[in-house]
A and B are shown apart, each in its own frame.
Chain A
Amino acid sequence: MNTMNATVTSEADMSETENTPLPETKPAEATIEEGVTVGQPFADDAKFQLRNVEVLYGENRAIKNISLDIARNEVIAFIGPSGCGKSTFLRCLNRMNDSIDICSVKGSLQLEGQDLYDPKRDVVELRARVGMVFQKPNPFPKSIYENVAYGPRIHGLANRKSDLDDIVENSLRKAGLWEEVKDRLDATATGMSGGQQQRLCIARAIAVSPEVVLMDEPCSALDPIATAKVEELIAELSESYTIVIVTHSMQQAARVSHRTAYFHLGHLVEVNDTNKVFTSPEHELTESYITGRFG
């Protein structure tokens, strides 16, 4: 919630400068044309087809006419300076913005050909298919077992205790946590270390067998060792899930993602293979950002 508010305010600040020339520290020719994204925003085997997406917070346009495809089983990283709208855009993908009253989403957002924002669509079913991992580890103040078992239980994925046990074990194994916690499944989850908690949250997200996992800066609250473990985990998970990750760390984006999307002031400036983005970016702004000239 706080991050959302931060987005709104910084967006408000920026909208004042929207029509004025960019500050001199940036290259003069680096202008953004609305709705135009350089690189390869589209894919053949698209999981998500997002066309002309606009997100408004009241009067503020947080996302300005973005079109993007997210391919099946790819890891796509969203990067960009604070307040550029990458988290807002990520949250559109499983409608986590719904609980914010003043937020409205326009455009066409499709998950395998079905409209996400169809009024008849059940958001609960959508979130079972598109799971989410948050910036700060947020396990429930319950036991480790209960944390993982909660999702399958409310969705009725396991009828017997043994089935549920299997799901919990598999999820924890996939999250690389099983060996560490198998002897203390009844211990409270809040007693774990930050890195363990975040991996538990990932286990909780994949316990309902989603097709897509959204990660909103999953490592920003973790130390380098825990971060390395989570990144390893992302690489493993990419074999069976589509992963969308928002990150502030460009090294992380370079390490874990197949494609990288660069956001700027609510625009999607450039999408390309990660290698290309970090070695020979097509857009001036992307280059300025990844070389650390601003952001």
Chain B
Amino acid sequence: MTDQTSQAELVRQSLKRRYRKERRFRAYGVIAIAIALSALVILFADIIGKGSAGFMKTTLNLEVELDGEMMYLDDATDERQIKMADFVEPLIQALMKELPSASESDRSAVRDLINPYASVTLRDALKENPDWLNTSRSMTFLAHTDVDVFVKHAGDSAYSIKLTEQQRDWVNQLVEKGVVETSFNDTFFKNGDSRDPSKAGILGAMIGSLLTMVVTLALSFPIGVAAAIYLEEFAPQNKLTDFIEVNINNLAAVPSIIFGLLGLAVFINLFGMPRSVPVVGGLVLTLMTLPTIIISSRAAIKSVPPSIREAAEGIGASKMQVVLHHVLPLAMPGMLTGSIIGMAQALGETAPLLLIGMVAFIVDVPNGFFDSATVLPVQVFLWAGSPELAFIERASAAIMVLLTFLIGMNALAIWLRKRLERRW
């Protein structure tokens, strides 16, 4: 009897210890997750803090007098005259009108508030509407990048304001009058890259990424799935297949820049394909993504229960029919998930693309697979390395766009898996 009670006592004590251990173990898990989450929050807060201003632009609302005499233009339908005409003067005049304190000697200081591309905007507008000549028009122009930086980051020590005291004064006056306004930066989504931050956009990089991803998906998914099916279902188990398996696993761990070198050596130097084009980028990223897709597809095929295979074989389905009718549909969610994750990886890849020339400064939005292009992460890389401070917020904004795409793709992967998953 005493023996039994003392034993119960021992058990109770060990229980206490066990519970303590369990609580400690759970606490470790919570701490680990908290660290990961806080890192993520800091990352997002930093990027959003820096990048949100990139989605805003500063504009000038001006009442422009399109005086033909002042612009040396008497026929707006004449190409040659348009080319020769002065479109800067009307802008300066219009802005001077808004700044009563500015004298004639301040012309160049006033001129520096206007974006260098504003005159191009005006010229294009007049080209389209020749009858505007000798009328007065209310139009919106981009402000100079320095004005943009001043309006957005006046108190921020990280940004050096290049405007003089006088110019700052003017800008403050203009803001009060409503001439200088900030609005949603549609230019950012409509333009390619530019030397001028206020005119730089990511459309070129987005289209470049899209074209590259199309090539990558079109090549890597069928090749990867076919390789996985062959290796898993048809290939004999021998030294050669073992060797191939080891190599595929190795390839998945090869640094991506090596694939870039390979692409440079093979696709560009040996096959003579053009530099900086989405096709070569897609080919290189295909090489990089293939191991991921093959490995995840093989895992998906392996996870198909053997009973389903046996059932199909038992009623006389051929090997092909077993694979196509039963194994493939059941493995598809896993294959798709793996492929989308591989594609997301490829979308965020920079290093190999630097080596095949997709790092070039390209203003035009690419029109096809053989047009020079750059991609989103490379655009981020380019802007992050630019000397102009205004590019920092553009880079952060581009990161936000890239992250949005990545989150979207991963969400799609999860949704597809939930949707296609079948139970048995």
Contact = CB atoms under 8 A, between A and B. Distances in A.
B424 interface: yes
Interface in A197-223: 201, 204-205, 207-208
A140 B315 contact: no
A258 interface: no
B314 A154 contact: no
B316 A128 contact: yes
A72 B265 CA distance: 70
B interface residue count range (under 10 / 10 to 19 / 20 to 34 / 35 or more): 20 to 34
Contacts of A201: 311
Contact of B237 (A1, A96, A101): A101
B315 A94 contact: no
B11 to A, nearest CB: 38
Interface in A120-176: 124-128, 131-134, 136, 138-141, 150-151, 154-155
Nearest to A155: B316
A252 interface: no
Contact of B325 (A126, A133, A150): A150
A279 interface: no
B418 to A, nearest CB: 16
Contacts of A208: 315-316
B317 interface: yes
A280 interface: no
Contacts of B308: 138, 140-141
B306 interface: yes
B306 A1 contact: yes
B310 A96 contact: yes
Contacts of A125: 316
A154 B321 contact: yes
B423 A190 contact: yes
B316 A138 contact: no
A134 B330 contact: no
B404 interface: no
Point out which of A1, A99, A140, A208 has the most chain B C-beta atoms below 10 A from its C-beta: A140
Interface string B407-424: 000000000000000111
Contacts of A126: 316
A201 B311 CA distance: 8
Nearest to B315: A151
B318 interface: yes
A127 B314 contact: yes
B314 A96 contact: yes
B307 interface: yes
Interface residues on A, range: 20 to 34
Contacts of B312: 140, 150
A2 B309 CA distance: 13
B313 interface: yes
Given A96-B310, A134-B310, A201-B311, A140 B316 contact: no
Contact of A99 (B313, B321, B326, B424): B313
A127 B313 contact: yes
Interface in A95-118: 96, 99, 101
Nearest to B318: A124
Interface in A61-105: 94, 96, 99, 101
Contacts of B305: 138
B237 A140 contact: no
A131 B318 contact: no
Contacts of A128: 315-316
Interface string B283-312: 000000000000000000000011110111
B316 A134 contact: no
B420 to A, nearest CB: 11
Nearest to A2: B306
Report which residue of A101, A126, A154, A190 has the largest number of chain B beta carbons within 10 angstroms of its beta carbon: A154
A140 B311 contact: yes
A205 B313 CA distance: 11
A205 B314 contact: yes
Nearest to B330: A141
Contact of A138 (B311, B318, B325): B311
Given A139-B311, A141-B423, A190-B424, A127 B316 contact: yes
A237 to B, nearest CB: 16
A204 B315 contact: yes
A124 B311 contact: no
B315 A127 contact: yes
Nearest to A95: B313
A81 B135 CA distance: 105
A124 B314 contact: no
Nearest to A137: B307
Nearest to A136: B307
A190 B315 CA distance: 18
Nearest to B310: A134
B307 A124 contact: no
A96 B424 CA distance: 22
A133 B315 CA distance: 9
Contact of B311 (A99, A134, A154, A207): A134
Contact of B424 (A94, A132, A141): A141
Contacts of A131: 314-315
Contacts of B306: 1-2
Nearest to A98: B313
28 contacts: A1-B306, A96-B310, A96-B313, A96-B314, A101-B236, A101-B237, A127-B313, A131-B315, A132-B310, A134-B307, A136-B307, A138-B305, A138-B307, A138-B308, A138-B310, A139-B424, A140-B311, A140-B326, A141-B308, A141-B330, A141-B423, A150-B325, A154-B317, A154-B321, A154-B325, A190-B423, A204-B311, A208-B315
Given A124-B316, A134-B307, A140-B326, 20 more contacts: A1-B306, A124-B317, A124-B318, A127-B313, A127-B315, A132-B310, A132-B315, A134-B311, A138-B305, A138-B307, A141-B308, A150-B312, A150-B315, A154-B316, A154-B318, A154-B321, A154-B325, A204-B311, A205-B314, A205-B315
Interface of A: 1-2, 94, 96, 99, 101, 124-128, 131-134, 136, 138-141, 150-151, 154-155, 190, 201, 204-205, 207-208
The 9 A-B residue pairs with the shortest CB-CB distance, nearest first, are A127-B316, A138-B307, A132-B314, A151-B315, A128-B316, A138-B311, A141-B422, A1-B306, A141-B424
